[in-house]
Structures are given as C-alpha cells and as structure tokens.
Structure 1
C-alpha cells in the first residue's frame, strides 16, 4: 500500500500539469468540433482529411502554420507576463493593430536604409507602439483603478478602426490608386524591411518563429530566475502583502501590462513584415483572441505557451482549409477555441476542488482537558 500512494500522487500531479490539461482541453474541443462539422453536413473522414491537408499537406501549409504559431506565441507570452502580476490583457488585437501601423509607417518610409537598420527599426517601432497602446490601459488601472479587462477590450475596437482609417485615407498609408481594382491597403514594405525566410523549400515560413521562441525562453528565465519575476509573482499573489514588503506594486503592474502590449505589437510588426508585406484591413485576423486562448491554456507555463501555440497555429491553418475543402463554416474553429476556454476553466475548477486539504496537526499531550481550571 505504501508504494501505491506515491504513484497515485505522481499521477495526480501529472493530471494537473498545464501541458496535460491543455492537451486534454484541445482533445475535448476537437471532438466537439467534429460533431459540429457533422451537423453542418461534412463527413468525419472528409473533415479530418481536409484538416490534415490544411495543417501538414504541403510545405506551404506547414510554413503558414508556423507563421501563425509565432504570432500567437508572442501574444501569449505577453499575456503570461501580465497575468503573473494579477492582470488580464484581452487587448492583444488592438495592440497588434498599433504595432502593424507603426511597422508599416517605418517600413514604407526607410527606402534607402540597409536591412541591418530597417528591419530592426520596423520591429522595435512595432513593439514600442504596442507598449504605448497598452500603457493607456495600464495607466488607467494603476492611477484610476479602472478594470484593465474593460479598457483593453475597448481599445481593440479603436485599434481596428485606426487600421481602417490609415488604409483608406490617401494622406496616410494607403497606396496610390492606379485603377478601380486597387485594394484599400498600404504600399508594400521595402525589401530591407521584409523578414527573411527560414529556408524551407516552397514555404512562406520566416524567422518570426525563432523570434517568438527566443522571446518565450527569455521571458521564462526572467520570470523564474530574476528578482523582477519574483516581484511580479508576489504582486499577482497578494498585492497588499507585496506592498508591505516594499514591492512597487503600481509600477510593477504598469510595466507588466505595457510589456504585454509590446509583445503583441511586435507580433503585429511580424505580420506586416511577412508576405504579402502590406497593411490591409483584417490583417490581424483574430490573432489577439487566439493568443488569449493560448495564454489561458498554458496557465502560466512558458513551455506550454510554445507547445500550445504550435498546436493552435496548425489548427487555425487547418481550419481555413476546412472551409475550402469540406464546406465547414469558418466559425467552427472559433467555436472550438471558445470551447477550449470553457474546458480549461472547468479543469482549473476541478483542480482546486480535488486538491487535498492539509493534514490536521496532532494534538499535544500537554493539552489541558476540557473544563480544567485556568
């Protein structure tokens, strides 16, 4: 019996691991997605074939999936930083838009500079724009006590509207109209501002993946092995106790939420620096919401952020092919993502309820009997 108890404890810890819980949520949501596709009239075999072809069928599909995963990874890394300090960043979409606008403005202006200057300027400008965009909500949170959930959510709509404005207004970023078929979009970024390819044959995959992985690894080191990471964790667990210990709670929260915006802004810069190298309406394509899903599924683990981003990146690319090849509604993938959030919330609730209470302390032999004189 003594040997079975440690094994049961190990299994319980494994079942509560963020990666295991995330994969279980994805599996359950995938089964629900297949049921929805069947209701829409698609045969399960055709659905699975279309999904597989969209994810791994060609080198182009794999490269596109890796680019999507890189974008989701950066948004989720930022979400994790803010969440470590007890904040929830739901403004990834607006921050992506701010970063994309800044990257386009820089990438279409620096026409004569070499790539060693132009590309870093594009990415740094995108990150700075995302930082400033999130700083609006961060300031309102620490100075006025306004919920960051509401402010970041509302700023999403402002960011999307700004993209529409700059790509439709000739005085801003819209390309010159040469014919009635000219789309409302920006001019292409200069060649020096475009991300290099990974080198996979017939694949659009760029070094965005390596940038995202390096960002995730660096953030993991910062959160786990530095004093700043310890302070953020203390603020997230108990801000009042952290303040009594001398931790600058307001400054820590401001920096964490602004940093989340910087990572999302960088993701927007990577999007416009990838083919077709233009800013167009809808370029963010719901990546802010999908990155939020990745952050929730990862539950604070940066290793899980990398893994879940890759899985969800391939799922998003496969979902596009579902609509084209199997006539499955595009909203099915969004429903699957929403179900993942519901399942992960249920898993967190189950984890708390199944956690064993602490063992009671043994009563001392010197305890006075009831009714003894004092």
Structure 2
C-alpha cells in the first residue's frame, strides 16, 4: 500500500514585507527628507559657511525664541489654509494652482473692507468682517475659473494659473493708485502700501506680547479638522470623491457634477482668500506690494505633498512654516542665502515625487 503525504502549507507572513515598508509613504518621506538635507548641507558648504553654524542659525530662527515660534506658526497656518482648500478641490478631481491669485484677491478685499470701517470698530465686528471679505474675495476669484470649467469645459489648471498674474497685478494697482488703497504720501518708506487697518480689524494675538502668533493659527486648525470630518463622514464628501473618480458615472447616478466641481473650486479659493486676509490683518496690518511672499505657490506644494490627507496637510504646513522662518535667520546669522531653504524644499518635493513614481512603476511591473 502506497502512503501519500502532503506537504504542509507554506507559512504565511504575519507582518509587512520589507518591500512594502520601503514603499510606505512615511518611509518615502523620510528618505526624501534625508536626501534633501544632504543637498542642503552641500549648498551651505558651497556658500562658504560652516554646517554647524548654519544649523545653529536655522534652529535659532525656528525655535530660538517666542517670536520665532509664533512667526513660524503664522506661516504654517497660512499654508494650511491654502492646502486645505487645494485638498477639497482635489477630492473633486480638480487641481487648483491659483492659490497665489486667490490669496491676493482675498487680501485686497480684506484691506478694502478694513479701511472702510470706522476707526473705533470693535474687534468682535471688525475681525469677522475682514476675514469674511477675504474669503468671499478669494471665492469670487476662483469662481471665474469654476464658471469657465463647468460652463465651457476650460481646464481649471490653465485658468487658475493665469489668474495668479492678474491677482498679483490687482494688488500692485491697488497700492499704487491714490484713488484705490494707496496710503497718503508721508515718506518714501510708506509706499507702495495701504494705510494700516484699524485696531478693531486686526487679528488678536494668542501667544502673548512676545509672540506674533495670531488667531489665524486656531482658525486654520479648526477649519482643517472640520473639513477633514466633512470629507470623511458626510454625504458631500462621498459625492466629491465620486465626482473625482468619474464625473461621467456620477452624472449618470444623478449627482450635480457641475455644482460639486464649481463649489469645491470656489471653496478652495475662499480658503486661500482667507489666508490673504489673515496676512493683511497681521502686523504690520497693511496691504503691500508682494505681501503674498509666494505663500500661494508654497501652499500648492503642501497640498500636493499631502496627497489628500488633512493630517499630512498639518504636518507639511508646520515643516514648511518653520523652515521659512528659519531660512530668514539663516541668511542673517550665517550669511547663507535664504533661497537655500527654498531649494531644499523644492528638492524635497522632487525626491518624494520621484520616489512615488519609481515605487508605483515597480508595483505595476510586479503585479
């Protein structure tokens, strides 16, 4: 009699494979950060500075004082507002690259509203009005691209990109023309900018007299939490996700595709406009030429890095916000160009994008 034996089944892995760990977004981000840091060190050495001195200056600019931390938090909050709006539009399948123009439109609307208020306006009225004006200004600016998208089928990437330049020009005209927002001439140092906002239209401080951190930090955190909950747990969030996956299938199911696409883009512009209002309502409380400082484009980068996660939006905003503040002190204390930090940020984005592309291709080839 022949006895047949069966081999025991192969043991199953109980934990993640090394290849899966290497492709994990956190692993990719850490590796990209190390590569970007290495490139930054090389740039510091090329500039003739000591890496230890440069690191001390960067650390001092980010965490060395209450002022440094407060300034970094303000920058992070502005970036988080823009990136949160980008995430909402991206959930509907749209790419909003017009954060800079929407920020400028919101800042201009906020400045015009604040300067129209009486000098003795209470903060309980002035601050909400200024922030609301900024939100509506940014939403209206993005609404132009939204209308062209849903009515004419024009790519929102092109329209929002082009509207950036018009928004920047709008600020320039507003602060140069006496009939608009230009401050009356008192000295060469006051131009080109508007008059300061009244005290009742200025954002209150939250970190004490030594810290410039304002209420925008709380506003950005609350909005990010609310938007994240809405996208995850409400019917609107499900509908936006459905439209983002397939507008045609969503239309066949009866979803208002045009309204969802247009509304998400307008809301993204509103949050960018709110960020612009926050910049105007923070010291020195004026609308000045180039006041946006490229926050709109940096917020776009944060949104792209976050890949739809509001938790990642918060983390990336804090990283970029603190790096921006540290870069200023890097130039002052270590004589290293502040653009070095911008180069490191750009390299970080490129490295993460390249790593994601490589791992995606390996996954497809292995399947």
How far apart are residue 11 of structure 1 and its match? 8.0
Q: Which of 232, 254, 264 is matched with 1:224 structurally?
A: 232
Partner of 1:247: 255
For the residues of structure 2 that align with 1:26 and 1:255, how far apart are their CA atoms?
35
Q: Quick check: 1:339 aligned with 2:347?
A: yes
Moved over 6 A (4+): 356-359
Of 115-124 and 175-184, more deviation after overlay is shown by 175-184
Alignment length (residue pairs): 357
Q: Which of 80, 83, 97 is matched with 1:76 structurally?
A: 83
Could you tell me whether the CA contact under 8 Å between 2:21 and 2:27 is conserved in 1? Answer: no
For the residues of structure 2 that align with 1:26 and 1:129, how far apart are their CA atoms?
36
What secondary structure does 1:228 align onto? Answer: helix
Residue 231 to residue 71, structure 1, CA distance change in 2 (3 Å): same
Partner of 1:110: 117
Residue 127 to residue 7, structure 1, CA distance change in 2 (3 Å): same
What secondary structure does 1:247 align onto? Answer: coil
User: How do 1:112-151 and structure 2 match up within 5 A?
Assistant: 112-151=120-159
Could you tell me whether the CA contact under 8 Å between 2:327 and 2:339 is conserved in 1? Answer: no
1:106-137 per-position Cα deviation (integer Å, ceiling 9, x unaligned): 11111143221111110011000000001111
1:350-372 per-position Cα deviation (integer Å, ceiling 9, x unaligned): 3423437898xxxxxxxxxxxxx
Partner of 2:336: 328
Partner of 1:305: 313
Residue 27 to residue 256, structure 1, CA distance change in 2 (3 Å): farther
For the residues of structure 2 that align with 1:250 and 1:105, how far apart are their CA atoms?
32
TM-score by length of 2: 0.92
Q: Which of 274, 277, 283 is matched with 1:275 structurally?
A: 283
TM-score by length of 1: 0.90
Could you tell me whether the CA contact under 8 Å between 2:242 and 2:250 is conserved in 1? Answer: yes
Of 125-134 and 251-260, more deviation after overlay is shown by 251-260
Partner of 2:182: 174
1:237-266 per-position Cα deviation (integer Å, ceiling 9, x unaligned): 122222222222222111111111000000
Partner of 1:265: 273
Partner of 1:41: 48
Residue 311 to residue 196, structure 1, CA distance change in 2 (3 Å): same
Give me the CA root mean square deviation: 2.0
What secondary structure does 1:355 align onto? Answer: helix
Partner of 1:60: 67
Could you tell me whether the CA contact under 8 Å between 1:296 and 1:344 is conserved in 2? Answer: no
For the residues of structure 2 that align with 1:250 and 1:13, how far apart are their CA atoms?
40
How far apart are residue 20 of structure 1 and its match? 5.1
Q: Quick check: 1:100 aligned with 2:107?
A: yes
Could you tell me whether the CA contact under 8 Å between 1:59 and 1:201 is conserved in 2? Answer: no
How far apart are residue 14 of structure 1 and its match? 8.4
For the residues of structure 2 that align with 1:309 and 1:315, how far apart are their CA atoms?
10
Residue 88 to residue 198, structure 1, CA distance change in 2 (3 Å): same
For the residues of structure 1 that align with 2:307 and 2:27, how far apart are their CA atoms?
11
For the residues of structure 2 that align with 1:356 and 1:6, how far apart are their CA atoms?
23
How far apart are residue 70 of structure 1 and its match? 0.4
Contiguous gaps of at least 5 residues in structure 1: 360-374
Of 153-162 and 261-270, more deviation after overlay is shown by 153-162
Contiguous gaps of at least 5 residues in structure 2: 1-9
Q: Quick check: 1:187 aligned with 2:195?
A: yes
Residue 235 to residue 351, structure 1, CA distance change in 2 (3 Å): farther
